[in-house]
Every structure is written in structure tokens, then in C-alpha cells.
Structure 1
């Protein structure tokens, strides 16, 4: 009997199923079915329903029935989610291993499942607690990488590293493709296609590059289907869609006031000029004549702002005092009175731009040209990846699918030990087409009743990743069909909300039943499980964005005053919505923490360092030099800066001219003199030509550290590290890559009482109090693409942008029509992002909207507020309209110029730079000892050339640094092993060979486990008040600066200890003592440098330097 045939019954799980079903009467049975490993299922799990717990329980149930733990594959979208599930499973097993039965019923279920897994573990020798890496819980990206790396020939995958920023590779592929237009040997089809595309771009290569870059970033959404694109089928799909849309709109306006307006226009056309088009109104059909009439009628009925006309006059061909004019205006008045004006306006807007039912030949020709260009572009991208020995995540995913093969030739990609029996997919509503194809490929050769299972959990109302290709239709199609590949799929739904108080749940139920009433799938209300008071509060303010920011801060202060221990979060739709809020929190003295919120270059101290980099890199960069002069660490006044810049000279040269200095203030002369002295000292240094060294030295000597706080210092150090990485030869060879790297980095998260996140970042999280500002603000507008692509009537369709300025051409109408579908998809997602945001709240949620209402004139009624189109307020308007319109107008608008907090003050003139331990300044002279180069060569030589060992060492150092900061007392072997996925991710990011990552991560985990289990390791990493990790120390010795980084340092019993970690293993067969002796001798000079550098910083205690070898648990003093 095979493993796949052994699950007809699972008697050991039946008591667990019964226990889960009995936990609550609302959805207990559904949760019980969801845990059953025999069932393939989609579990509809709304926000707060305990989805992750159910997923974990199913994972444990599946582990209890397989022969190897690798047969169970759980796939998530983020490393954090994967790590959380690993930690939950390992913790459950660890708790069960203790034998202590919990008292709470839901914890008892977890305990029972974990005990069953431990029994299986003991029976088959898995040893999961010591080998958590055998749990296959990973992201789509990491699974694709592992699949492709195990079958490199089938996947066409070499040893390339995965790049997080492949923009330069994209650019190379794009330029290689476009430059083919000048190649005499280029195929005629490509030449013709390139000429057509370049004609569209008016022969400007540079305008095409960003358009193609976006396409390549999203190619997993179109690349697989562009190769087999059938223009005729696509045209037929567009025709069907236009006809269906027209018929729906015709049905919508038939028998209404709009049809009466048509009859009135027809009557008027025989008597009034300019209305000839309305004569002989045709039958309202979707043929060419009917569509042409409907477009003209809709255009007539709409104002330039897209609303239904309120009256007609001579400008529309209706003269005053004419009975026909009176009749038409009465009809228009009846539309206003009916309350249907907005509904009619939406229908007319679509009718006015509806394309013809025939696919324009120019559009079809451009589709063919684009298909040719894109095929060559993809080929050039493959070549560019090979030439740079790199890949991006879409490429890895595509090659993993390629490794699986087609449905008639599948399975070789999965070696016997990798065979999968059970697949669990979290957040399935966020899958894109490539991920969907991957999953379908994995189960393609399963059998309907072979007891292998696929479990997909998700919530269609939390699908908010359209920008990365998430296709909600893939999720709903499985729900509607009840099948996926060969498997029949059960659909079950959770309804209990364990997260929020009843008031929050009730508001969300009522609001989103209304918001989603026209959705293709029903919104089902949740049942609150918690008890208590709490709910939603709407803040409608007429005080502008700054007043809204102050209100947000005030509510946060109230929440923290009521309970300092509760979690408070500010959630925003876009980072730009925090422009006023972050400064207000800072002004109020409230620290905030946020992940990926503020681009690192936007913080003033960091932008000043970046200006210093630009200035020292390029002497003629006047903007950068002036920014440096205005920085806090130079501090020249605006007036003095104007004098320096007046002559249009190179700023650095101008600073040295007597004529310029004569015009400066006395303070300005002092500041310029001090600045030039530092620049001269840097230049004189032997390392002055090394940009990274020069910038950091200058910044430190100018007093830069005194202008930043501890959090800002972390960000500045990040910039310095990036600069070092991009100046391996001393010079900044590729500035474009360096500044792109800066653009992709965000300021480091700070410790704070209030969390600040985007809606997307907060998905899956929860907070006691949630504050949601910016309801009145729109999201960012997308650039117009080279072409739209979308499923139209079930057919993959592309519609090109021909750049026509006339919006009434057939090609423009078609592009606008499909673009409208794409924009409608985005509009529907706005509602879903609102749902995600408001359902994060446990106790209370506050919504903030700024309203723009004019004070009424005397005797006039107050005009109701109209939400901005595309805003969250417009999306939630059915629920919020009454509350917003009842709100008081509020305080007067605050001028926007008052927003923000003054920048950090300049350093005082003559400021004495006091250098902290761990930093260095340039030498006043360039005297060197004759032996300095020899010493540097020797120190570099000891680093070796094994880059794998270096990456392992770096990962080990990082891990023990984290343990040391927290104290080794809180770490167990099990906890260390649960971080294997995080270590693997770190190795992968560092360029460790993909096929060796698992072994490399195991090596790091083994070293760390040995460290915390070893007496010496525990002594080194125990918590101490004055502990230092990766501490930088520098001293000026014998005419040169010595700069070193100490792995760990601390003072104990009057001794200053310096610990240096060494991760090499003693060679097999060699004496451990001899190995240690050789290592001590090898690093003697380096450790002496450490001791001397520490002593020169003012340390008076006895200093001891020790080498620690985690592989053998030895500690050796270097005398």
C-alpha cells in the first residue's frame, strides 16, 4: 500500500476532528473539515477568523499521516509569514514534548495534534525538533528557486544569483533590443516591428526604456501568453465584450428619462440647428449605427466634468423661449429630481467612449509588431541574465514552471525525496498567473481519489496586490468550479471573528455589506467572539491635512494615556499620506516605528551625507556642494551661500578665493576655513582617493555625529555601507547603481509607542487601536502604459497605445475601453484595501477625513460634501455619508506652510568635535611608517578567498550579535533552529550559491547551537550592561589611523575583553591544539592592533584579546 492510498481512514485524527467541531457552534464543523488531510479544499477565511491557526493545525494533521515531513509543502507569500508558521509548529511540538497538557480547549487541540506528530516522528526517526529545516514551509519565490536549482538543466538555470534590483539588466536587454534597428542583419520582421514602435515613441529611445522596464518587471503576467497570442481570437473577445457592455447599458437606460430625452432630441432635430445627428433615432442596438448614435447622445448629455446636464440653451442649439427648449429642460429637471443623475452619468460616460465592435486594423498591426519586439526582448533578457550571472524572481518562477514541464511530461522536476503529498497555500487570493500555473503543474498528475490533497485558504475581500499581478479571478474561479486540476475542491467558510470587539465587527459588517453589494461574490458578515465595549469613530474635519495630522496625534495620545501597554497603529494607503503626520508625532515627542515607510534619502541627515558623497565624487556638482555648505555640519547661511555661488565658479574653487571670502560674514569665513581644513586633511591622506573613506572621514571630522540621533546614525551608517559596497576599487565606478540602491532602502525602523504602516504592510497584523487618516486623499496615478493587457471574455488580450491625441479615433476608443476595465479593477481593489485596514483593529478604529465645504450664504442650505473620486472616502461613502455631512465645519484651515518641524540646528561656529569611541578622523599629515603597507597586506591576506566561508562567517556574526543583544539566557537550541529560514534568506541575499543555501544555513545554525550550548559561548553572550557588538574603534598611531571592528567586547572583573569569532573547522585528522595554535599565531598581529586601538581610546583597564572557535567550543587568549 502506498502513502497515497493509506488515508481512506484516519482514526487517530477523529477525536481531534470532534474536539475542533465542538469548539464553537458557528463554524466549528467547518474548521474540523479544514484540518482533515483527506480533503482538498478552499477555506474562505475573513479577517480575524483565526486562519493561521487552522493552517497550522492542518499542517500538523498532514505531518501525522506522511512517511517523510518533506511530503507536506506549505507555501506563503512572505518570509515573515513562513517564519511565523515554522515557529508556531516548532513551538507546538516543543510544548507537546514537555508532556504538560494545557487547560484551554483550543490549546488542547493543538497539543493533541502535536503529540500525534511526535509519535510519527519517533516512529520514523524524523527528529523534527532538532531538524526543523525538514519542514517545507516557504515562500513561492524560495520554492521556485529550490525547484529550479534541483533541476538546472530542465529549468535552463545556471548558478546565477537572484537579484532584488535587476533594473540594470532590464535596461541592458531593452537597449540591446532597440539598437537592433541599426543592425543590417536584423530579421525583417523585427526591423519592421522596431520601426513601428520607435515611430510611436517619435524615435526617442529614452521614452521607451521606462515603459519596457515596467513590462519586464511584470512579465510573469503576460510573457507566457504573448508567445501564443492569436490576434483573431483576441479581436473576437473584444467584440463580444463591447457588445455585451453596450447591451447592458442599453437595458439600463431603456424606459428611463434618458430615453425620453432621445425622443425629445429627435423631435427637436427637425426644428433646431445642430441636432441633425438626432434625427431618425435608430434602434438601440450594439451594431455600428447604434453605437455611433449612442456615443453622440451620451456626449450631448454630459458636461465637460462628466455630469448630466442640468439645462440646455443656445450653446447646445436650444434657443431661449422656444417650447422645445422648455420641454428638454423639464426632462433634465426630472432626472435631477429622480435621484438617478449619478447613475445615468456613469452609464453615459461609458457610452460616450465605447469603441466599435470591430478591432481596428492599426491596433491589430501594432499588436503584431509588439509581439515580435517582446519576443526578442525576452530573448535578450535571457542573454543579459546569463552575461551578468544573475536572475530575478519572475525568471526563477518561470524556469521552475518550465522544469515541471507540460501536463504530458511532468514529474521529473520532483525527485523521489521531494515528492509532495499535501500542499497548503496561504493567502491564495493573492496568487498571480505564474503561481497558479506552478500549483496546477505540481498536482497535474495527481489522481482524483489518491488521497493527496491541496488546501487553499484565503479571502477574496483581502486581495490587494493587483500591482504585483494578483488575479482574484483565479481564486473565485476555483470556488465557483469546485475543482482544481484533477482534484474536486470542497468550499468551506469561517465566520467567527476572534480579533475584534463586537462594535468593530458590527460596523465592518454593515459597511462592507453595502460597499460590496454589487460584488461578483457575496460578503458574509462575521460573528464576534469577544465581549466588551469598543467600536468605530469617524472624524470629519474641515481643518486641512495639517489639522487632520494633529487630530491623529491627539487620538494616539489619548489611547496611550488610557493604556500605555496597548498597541496603537497609524495605517495609511500611501507613504505620501504621512507627510504631515510624522512631523506632528515628532513635535509631540512621540516616537513612532515603521517598516519601509520613509525612503532613507528623504531624512535630512542622510540627504546631507548623500550631498557630501555627490560633492566629493564630482567637483562640478554645484547643487551638491551648496547643499553641503547649508548642511548642519558646515552651517553656512543662505546669504553666504549666495555669495559663494554668485560667480558661477566651481564651488570648491570659489571657497578658496580671497574675493569670495571678503564678501562672507565673519561667521561664514570661520565655517569655510574649518570646512576647507577638513577637506585638505582628507586629500592629504594616503586613502584620500578612496571615496568611501574620504566621505566618512570628512563627515566625522566636521562633527556629523553631533547632528544626528541614534536612529539617524543607523541610517547614515547604512549609506556608508552601501558606498563601501559600490566602491570596491576605491572609486564610484557605477553611480547609477549606487543611487538606485539608495532609492530602494528605507530608513531603519525605530523603537516607538506608535506603529506606522501602509495598508499592504499591515495585512495579517492586528492592533488594539487603529488610526486611519487620509480618507479624502487619492492614491497615486499610474503612468499610461505601452499597452494594456487583461483577460477579456476569458481571452488574454493586449491593446496597444498608439499615442493618438484625438480621443475619438477607433484606436483611442479601444485603448480607453480596455484601460477602463483595468482602472475598474483598481477601483474595486480600493474597497478591499479599506476592508483590510479597518479589520486590523481589536478594540477601536478611528477614521479621519478632511472635508472641503464652503460656508453657506445667508439663507442658503448647507451643500452636502462630495468625496474625491478614487479616495477611500468615496469608496466608503454609502456608510459614511450621513456621519460626514453631520460633522461640524471645524476650525479654520491651517496654512500648509506651517506644516512640519524646523530642521535640526546648525553646529555652533568653532564647535569642538568630540569623537566617540568607534569612529575616526583623517590624519593631520600623511606621514606613514614604512611597514604600514606590509601590515595592511598581511591583514588582508588573512581574510582568505573562500567567499562561501566569508558569507557563513558574516551570517554567524550577525546571529550571535542578535543573541548577545538580547542575552543568551532567552535562547534555546530549538529557538535557534527555528530561524533556519531567516538564515537561508540571508545567505541567498548575500550571493551564496543557491543549490548550497540549505547546507550553508545548516552550517550556521550548527555553529550557533554549539555556541549557546558551550560554556565559553554562554559566558561571552550573557547579558551585560556594557556589552559591545560589532564595535568600531580607531586610533591614530605612529602617523596613521588604525580602524578596527570588534566582534564582541565587554568589561568583567576589571578586565576589558576583546572577543573575535573564528568559524573555520579543525581539518579532519589534524590535532585540535595544533590548529588553535596556528590560528592564534595567524591572528596575533591583528589582535595586537585591536588592543592598541582600544587602549588609545582611553581604556585604562587590563585588556585581553581572545579568539573563540564555535566549531570546537575552544577559547584561546592571544597574548
Structure 2
């Protein structure tokens, strides 16, 4: 609003047609403001624009409701530590007089699992605004049963509408025949005497269940209308049964013509009995009393900390407007006089408490009195259930109004953001993605199509990028194992596709704004990692994506903090000696700490014998760090923790180790979090680790804002020229298991007074408790929540798609089932869109574009992963900053030490390639040993070249080296399998084991050794080691034996593994390149 007023005052040119009306309104507002001397631009506070939470705080501050604090409390945004503390205090009342029995009963139900009950209580306290009123009203089981009856009646009536009296009359004789052929205990047997229409009442639920068992497959709500009739459901294959079977088949075919019938009947199977068991109700009453105890303890926690949460503020705001007798307070009367116009934006995301606040603010308003309530919202964009938003409230208010106010509905249908091709695709696709009709109970919104106002633009479209994973024609499981990709590799391919789209878009439209939107932050990890590693010039802004705890500089600071507080913490002390400010090699770390598990690292740092065993460079680095840490430990307790740790970090040279953009902000955030914990008296290294997990790296302010990565929820309200939606095949996180499931059931159509609602509740089933065959109320309410979550998933996908102005890119992975059919993963965005994108995936499948083939590595061909040798990142000298080169200064990156670390995988790229060829040959020989020579003719080996090429490519082998590496592997395998020695080794033996892992404990050090091949023959244990060293075909026996002697010690260590077996041991080496066996002993 302020931006529009400022633009109008500054006469900023309008770039979009739909903003003309906004400009006209802004000019009118400025003119009116000038007449009334409002001076809105100079005094923007005159515009009372609040979030509902801030407005609630404003109300609460005007009433003496929090006087028990002694001062106005603060508002804690993340109050989970308070909830956990209150839950702990509640359980500590176990021995308290008068209330201890309540805690005892609850603990008994949860099998004395205090930790689990503590966590459940804490989660319930976070949502206490939804149940507190009902626990205080002490509702009776009779009222709860009536509410449950009203609730399940909706599903029974839906089924009765599909199976009306005429259909039931036609089904009766068929049902009676089927029931007569089944034993009495069978569910369908209840229909033996069915002669009257089943009433649409909860009392007839058992009959409705029997009808569903007759018509549907399976036992639960996932069953569909039967396609096959057999003796198991009362239709045997006899001449007598044939007419009944034919009639029932025709009945089912007719029922399929009614789209809602199958779902309506399936829902019957979810319905619980409309009565509360006495035991269950007693437990609910106990848990209700326990929750009230927890709320009382939470208030004490709030008092002790001087803070409250937003829920408390909202509750106090409601009480500020209405006294205990239900009458308006003086503040409510004052506001009633002052508030003339109330506009609520994003109304689709309001919670029950917020709607109740609006109801109390508008109490007494009458039509024609000049006061207006304007609620604006798009129910198709309601995506904040995790913040207690309930889209059903939007539907109910739209139809029934708020309190005594009736509202007029105005539907907006124009879209001023997206181009015609994008709008047309969204309208077509989402008409099937959204539910077919609205439902307040299920939080379901049917699709409302809209029209584009922007003209078409060149290149505007929706693009589908299909990946296919799995193979329908893999010869064996092992072949599939060789050819298939791991989840990490899959995400790497997806990341490369995103980068390719970004580069292409930037070339075509340099000024366009691009967004990559994901469901969860973790879905961007592979992309961010790939960009930082291979495309550092690709600048982007990530909004709350990169977790601070995953940043190396923060991990080093956490280690430093832990080490300073715990001298015996081996892991963190070793970590700070490995960090860039010290940078000891693994050899020096081993010289310092190897072989001694009982002395602390600080004491070992003063052991001169161990220091003398280190390299000169390592000793110099360690002495510098030792001096700093000795002085720091001597100063412990003399200053604040934040200042103490920060000072140590400075002395170690920490600032010189900041080379990534944003590192400075990350370090500041870390020390600010320590200071905050210390100020609240909550500091501990454990709590610090928890708090850091909640922090995210700040976006790079200097990065290109034309490329942004964010979650879909963060993108709401924004727009971008191009939107990329990866990970459509990814599933959302699992649902929690609350202590209680509850549901508000309205008595009538008045909105929204708690007195007009009843509550039904069900406790979390105890672990190990026998589960009855009938659905439980908890299961029913849980399924209702899952249904609401599924409906919201459709809306989340819609929000993501509608952020695109010109181009929308969809990326997902479909998989093949056992029959080779393409399927979208269940409960994913891809499943929602499957009818509209299946054709794209089918084409990709027909073209043989498996995911390994579809993606071209978007990596500089001059870079090979085999050439990547991990380097120890450290300062050039202890305590001395590394020297910056001009190029590195621009990049903000410290020069790394040129010294390669001892953990290098190979000395040269050639050695690394040889090692990869050997690994691949070993892998196939394992398959041969397991399945037998007869399944592995030499022709099959040659046919595996494509699979080998893919595997080698995924390991990072250069394109020009791929073919020769695969050919070498094939040649070794064929030579070995054709040789006399090779065929003797690999012939079937019951005692044979290939790639056998054996773990040993040597001087308290665990070691894992893997034997290429071992077997027993003629009472002799054989141990075979494969070597892929290249030799000429005519190599002499002497040359092979000389090479073998180099590995004698290794084979002797293998032989010692079988000393306790009691069999003589023989060892040998098989040189694969010539297929010859050299016996060692």
C-alpha cells in the first residue's frame, strides 16, 4: 500500500496494465489525505495495518490481564522449550497430593514411557487454543456421542445417495444369496435376512458395512468396486449361482457409472461405532485433566521467564473482548465505537481462534449501520495448516457469515500474472487435481478456473522434463544393481537438469527472474552443492534454505565451543585440530592421539614424546593452538561465554578462515545465539546444538536476485518469469501422532461461537494394545487429517505453478513397477499431475531414455572426478593468514595449502582409472561366482559394455577415457572366464563366498577386510585375491610370481583369519589380465 502511494506521488511509470486501477486509487487516497492533512507518506503509522497476531498483542496490552507478570511480558516466537519444561514439571507432580493420581493413570496407559508422554504433552500445549475451552467445559460422553453421530451421518448419507431405495431393492436378493453361501461369522452373512431399505442412520452402520463388504474388494477404504465374483464373497462357480452372479456384475457396472459411488462406499469402512466405550471416555477425561495441569504449569513457566507465546496472546485478546459471563468488555465497546471498517486479507489462512476474534469484534454490527467487514482470500491458496489455518472456515463464513453478519460473495476470475499458455495448462490440469466439490469437513476446495489478462509471449509454455528410473528388462537383480542409480546420483542428475534450464533461460532472457521452488528445504541440497562445486559463477539467493549447522565454519565453531567446555570430548578436540586454523594432517593427528583412548587430547598435546613423533610443520601448528587454548582455559569463567569463545576464535586466526560469501553473517549469527542463550540462563553445549539446527544461512545480499531458491510456502505472493519445480516425485514428511485427536462438530450454522460446537476426541492407542477389526475413532480422525493434508497438497502445488509468469518447468521421476508399467510414486505431486504428464513420460520411456541417459553431465569436460584429490584446507602457517592472490581476492576465497593430504585416493588420475577398472571387474566376478559360469558366456560380457560405460561415467571418468576403460574390463573378464585357472576358480561350490567381509578387532582397533573369493575343496580352505595389473599375454611365470610376492603379507593376514577353523589354508593370486593363478602357500 505504501509503495503504491509513494509511486503515485513520484509519478513512477506503470509497467503493467492491471496496475492502472491501483494507480487511480492511490491518487484518490493521496488527494483525500491532502484534504484531511493525513500526511500518510510522512506518517505511515496512521494506517493501522496489522497482522492478526500483532493486533491481538495490541488488544492484550490494553487490559490488565497479565498483571501477574509485574511487567508487560515478551512474546517468544519459538516456545517449544517452554512447552517441554511445562510438560516435565507436569510429570514431576507424580507424587503430589491430589493430582499425582492423574499423572499415574496417564503414565500407566503409556506403559510408563515418561519421555514419550512428555513429548506428546509438549506438542499438545502448542495447540492448546484448539482444545482448552472443551477441557474446561467438562463435556459429557452423551454429548460427544451425539456429535460423533452427526459427523458420521454425513458419510452414511453420501453412501445412501448412491445406493437409493431402488438400487437397494435390486441388490437385496443378490445379497441374500451371497450371504447364504457364507459362514455365519463372515461380515456379509449379516445380509441373509435383508428385506428392507437400510436407513441412513448411524444405528444401521453394521448393515452398511456388510453391503460395502459385498460390493468392494479388500478390507479397508482402499478397496474398489469388485471386478471378479467368486466363492469367497458368496458367488460360487455353480449353475445355480450364475444368474445371481450375472445380475450382480451388471449391478456393479451400473454403479461404476456414478463417479462418487466407489469413494462414498469406501468411506463407510472408515467409520467408527457412534458410541464411546466407558474405558475410552475415562481415559479421555484423565488426559483432559492432565492437559489442564500442563496448562497451569505452562503459565508458571511463562512467569518465570517473563515471556508468553502467540497462543497466549491470542487467548488474552479474546478475553479482553468478552468477560466470563459472555458480555462485551469496556474495551470491546470502545472498539465497537471506533472501528468502522475492517479489512482482513489472506482470509483463507485464518485459524479458529482468529475467526473467533473477528466474531467478537463485529458483535452487534447490523446491516445498514455504515460499518463494513471485507474479507479477501483465495481458498485455492490455503496452504498453512501447520500454522492452524483451516480453509473450512473460509467456506463456512462465505456461506453462513460471521455471527449475525451475512456476507456478500464476490468472485474474482482474472489473472494478471501469467501468460495465456500457462493459464490454459493450469486450468486444464488442476481441474482434475482438486476435489470435485467443496467440503468443510475435509478441507476440500473445488477448482475455480480463471482467465488470463496478459497477452501471449514468445516461448511461454509449460515444459515437462521426465526422468524414468528402473528397467523392465533387466536380466538379473545384479544387472539392475550395476545399472541403476542411487538416490544421491538421481538428485545429482536432477540438479544438472535444473542448472541446464537456468543457463538456457539466462541466455535467452538475460533479465528474466528465475525461481526454483521446492516442497522442503532439503530438496535443494544437491542443487546448491552442485552449483558451489562446479558452477561457482552462478550467483543465487537462497531464502532460509541452507542450514547454518551444515556450514563448515559453524561446525568448527561448535567444535571449538564444545572442546572449551569439555576437555574429555575426543571428537571435538580432534575436530578443532583439523580445522583450518590448525590443519593437522591425519598422520600428525595419529601421531598425537593414536593408540591411547584414555588420555584426553589436551593432556596428549603436552606429551613431548608424541609431539616429537609429529612432523615439524604439524608440531609448529599444534604449539600455536596449544598456547591459545591453554590461555583460554585459564580465563574460563572470567567473562561471558560468547565473548570468551569469540576471543579464542580470534586468537586462533578464525577470521582468516572465512572464504565463503556469507561466512561473516553466519559467524555473527552463531555468537548472537550463544549470547541469547546465556542471557536467558539456558546455555549449554547441548542446547546450543539444538538452537543452531534452527538457524539458516542468510541470503547473499550481493548475489543476483534474478535467481532465487526457496520453498513453495516462502514463494506465496511472489511472481517470477520462469519457475522450476523439481522433485515432483518426492513425498512429504510423515504425520505425527498426537496425544489426542479431536474434531469440532457444529450444532448449527452460527459462526463462530464455541458454545455452538461440540468436541469429539480419541486418545492415542497404547503401544502393543490389541487392535480390533472395527475402525477406531482415533483412526477415523487420523484419516480425516490425512485427507485434509492431501487436499492441501493439491493447493500447495497450485500455488507453486501459479508463481510462473512465462515459463513453468516440471521435473519428476517415474518408476516402473514389477510389470514394467510406468507409475508415479504415491502421495506425491507427480501422482496428482500424472494424468496430464503421463504422455511425456511414456514418450521418454519409448525412446529408451532412462535417467542415466537423459541427463548430460553439465560439467566442464576438462574436469574429471578422478582428478579430484582432497586437499587439506588450512592456513598457510599457524596464526598467519594465507596470502591472497588477485583472482582469489575477487572470489573471496583463501588460497588452500598446496600440500596434498595423506588420505588421497590415488597418486595420479591414471592410477585412479586403473583402480576403477579393477573395482568394476571385481564386481562382475562376484556375480559370476554367485550365479555360475553357465549364466555368463563371453557374449554376455560383451553386451554389458553400455552398463559399464554408465557406471564409469557416474564415477567421473573423462569421456575420452570411457571406451578404453570399458574395453579393458571386458577383456579381463573374458580372458579370466576362458582360462583354465579362471574356470576352476569360479565353478560352483556350496562353500564358496565372493567379496566376503570379515571384521576383526586388532589392539582395540576395528578393521574390516574383504576377501575376493574363498572356498573349501578337498578339505582345504582356499583364499583367492584378484589383481587387475596389466601384463602382456606371453608374460613369464617368474614375472607373475615376482609381482605376487609383493602381496604375500596381505595374503598371510587373510590366512590368519581362518586359524580357528581347523583346516589347512592355501592362498593364491589370480591375475585377471592373463587369466593365470599363482599359488602362494
Task: State the TM-score, normalizing by the size of structure 1.
Answer: 0.65
Question: Which of 437, 455, 463 is matched with 1:537 structurally?
Answer: 463
SS at match of 1:423: strand
Structure 2 distance, partners of 1:766, 1:135, is 26
Structure 2 distance, partners of 1:618, 1:693, is 18
Structure 2 distance, partners of 1:748, 1:101, is 33
How much does 1:318 deviate? 11
Structure 1 distance, partners of 2:682, 2:576, is 19
CA contact (8 A) 2:5 2:30 kept: no
How much does 1:514 deviate? 2.1
Question: Corresponding residue for 2:89?
Answer: 176
Structure 2 distance, partners of 1:489, 1:319, is 59
Structure 1: runs of 5+ lacking an equivalent: 1-84, 857-861, 918-1119
SS at match of 1:876: helix
Q: Does 1:572 align with 2:554?
A: no
How much does 1:866 deviate? 2.2
CA contact (8 A) 2:720 2:805 kept: yes
Q: Does 1:526 align with 2:489?
A: no
CA contact (8 A) 1:596 1:747 kept: yes
Question: Corresponding residue for 1:816?
Answer: 779
Structure 2 distance, partners of 1:179, 1:370, is 16
User: For 1:63-462, what aligned pairs fall within 5 Å after superposition?
Assistant: 85-92=1-8, 94-95=9-10, 109-110=21-22, 113-153=25-65, 158-184=71-97, 186=98, 190-228=99-137, 230-231=139-140, 232-249=142-159, 252=162, 276-279=186-189, 281-282=191-192, 283=194, 287=204, 289-290=206-207, 293=210, 301-302=218-219, 350-405=267-322, 408-413=327-332, 415=334, 419-462=338-381
User: For 1:804-883, what aligned pairs fall within 5 Å after superposition?
Assistant: 805=768, 808-809=771-772, 813-853=776-816, 863=821, 865-883=822-840
Question: Corresponding residue for 2:751?
Answer: none
CA contact (8 A) 1:768 1:844 kept: yes
Structure 1 distance, partners of 2:416, 2:94, is 61
How much does 1:132 deviate? 1.6
SS at match of 1:741: helix
Question: Corresponding residue for 1:463?
Answer: 382
Question: Corresponding residue for 1:985?
Answer: none
Structure 2 distance, partners of 1:792, 1:437, is 16
Structure 1 distance, partners of 2:328, 2:525, is 55
Question: Which of 495, 500, 519 is matched with 2:413 structurally?
Answer: 495
Structure 2 distance, partners of 1:637, 1:86, is 58
Question: Which of 649, 655, 659 is matched with 1:708 structurally?
Answer: 659
CA RMSD, Structure 1 to Structure 2 (Å): 4.4
Deviations 1:411-452 (A, max 9, x none): 525657982111111100101011111111111132321111
SS at match of 1:887: helix
CA distance 1:665–1:320, shift in 2 (3 Å): farther
Deviations 1:689-711 (A, max 9, x none): 75434433443444433353131
Question: Corresponding residue for 1:958?
Answer: none
How much does 1:668 deviate? 5.4
Structure 1 distance, partners of 2:564, 2:224, is 57
CA distance 1:656–1:511, shift in 2 (3 Å): same
How much does 1:657 deviate? 3.8
Could you tell which deviates more after superposition, 296-305 or 354-363? 296-305
CA contact (8 A) 1:144 1:397 kept: yes
Q: Does 1:647 align with 2:596?
A: yes
CA contact (8 A) 2:181 2:235 kept: no
Question: Corresponding residue for 1:79?
Answer: none
CA distance 1:257–1:219, shift in 2 (3 Å): same
Deviations 1:364-412 (A, max 9, x none): 2222122222223222222322222111111111111111115632452
CA distance 1:836–1:389, shift in 2 (3 Å): same
CA distance 1:106–1:581, shift in 2 (3 Å): closer
User: For 1:425-824, what aligned pairs fall within 5 Å after superposition?
Assistant: 425-481=344-400, 483-520=401-438, 522-533=446-457, 534-542=460-468, 544-586=490-532, 587-589=534-536, 590-637=538-585, 644=593, 646-649=595-598, 650-657=600-607, 671-683=621-633, 691-704=641-654, 705-727=656-678, 733-735=683-685, 737-750=687-700, 751-752=703-704, 753-792=706-745, 795-803=758-766, 805=768, 808-809=771-772, 813-824=776-787
CA contact (8 A) 2:231 2:237 kept: yes
Deviations 1:650-691 (A, max 9, x none): 333344445655776776555544432432343456888754
SS at match of 2:809: strand
Question: Corresponding residue for 2:472?
Answer: none
Could you tell which deviates more after superposition, 455-464 or 580-589? 580-589
How much does 1:713 deviate? 2.6
Question: Corresponding residue for 1:983?
Answer: none
SS at match of 2:376: strand
CA contact (8 A) 2:76 2:309 kept: yes
Task: State the TM-score, normalizing by the size of structure 2.
Answer: 0.67
How much does 1:737 deviate? 4.6
How much does 1:160 deviate? 0.6
Structure 1 distance, partners of 2:726, 2:319, is 45
CA distance 1:116–1:851, shift in 2 (3 Å): closer
Question: Which of 873, 880, 883 is matched with 1:906 structurally?
Answer: 873
Could you tell which deviates more after superposition, 437-446 or 292-301? 292-301
CA contact (8 A) 2:662 2:698 kept: yes
Structure 1 distance, partners of 2:837, 2:539, is 31
CA distance 1:261–1:778, shift in 2 (3 Å): farther
CA contact (8 A) 1:654 1:660 kept: yes
Structure 2 distance, partners of 1:886, 1:792, is 49
CA distance 1:288–1:607, shift in 2 (3 Å): same
CA contact (8 A) 1:462 1:835 kept: yes
How much does 1:559 deviate? 1.0
CA contact (8 A) 2:422 2:461 kept: yes
CA contact (8 A) 2:561 2:685 kept: no
CA contact (8 A) 2:221 2:267 kept: no
CA contact (8 A) 2:674 2:688 kept: yes
CA contact (8 A) 1:267 1:279 kept: no
Could you tell which deviates more after superposition, 150-159 or 471-480? 150-159
SS at match of 2:144: helix
Question: Corresponding residue for 1:890?
Answer: 849
CA contact (8 A) 2:582 2:875 kept: no
Higher CA-based Rg: 2
How much does 1:247 deviate? 4.8
Deviations 1:530-550 (A, max 9, x none): 112312111111263322221
How much does 1:268 deviate? 7.1
Deviations 1:1027-1082 (A, max 9, x none): xxxxxxxxxxxxxxxxxxxxxxxxxxxxxxxxxxxxxxxxxxxxxxxxxxxxxxxx
User: How many corresponding residue pairs?
Assistant: 816
Structure 1 distance, partners of 2:13, 2:502, is 40
How much does 1:90 deviate? 4.8
How much does 1:243 deviate? 4.0
Greater relative CO (CA pairs within 8 A, separation 6+): 1
SS at match of 2:779: helix
Structure 1 distance, partners of 2:235, 2:595, is 63
SS at match of 1:395: helix
Deviations 1:287-334 (A, max 9, x none): 254266468668973599967898799999999999989999999999
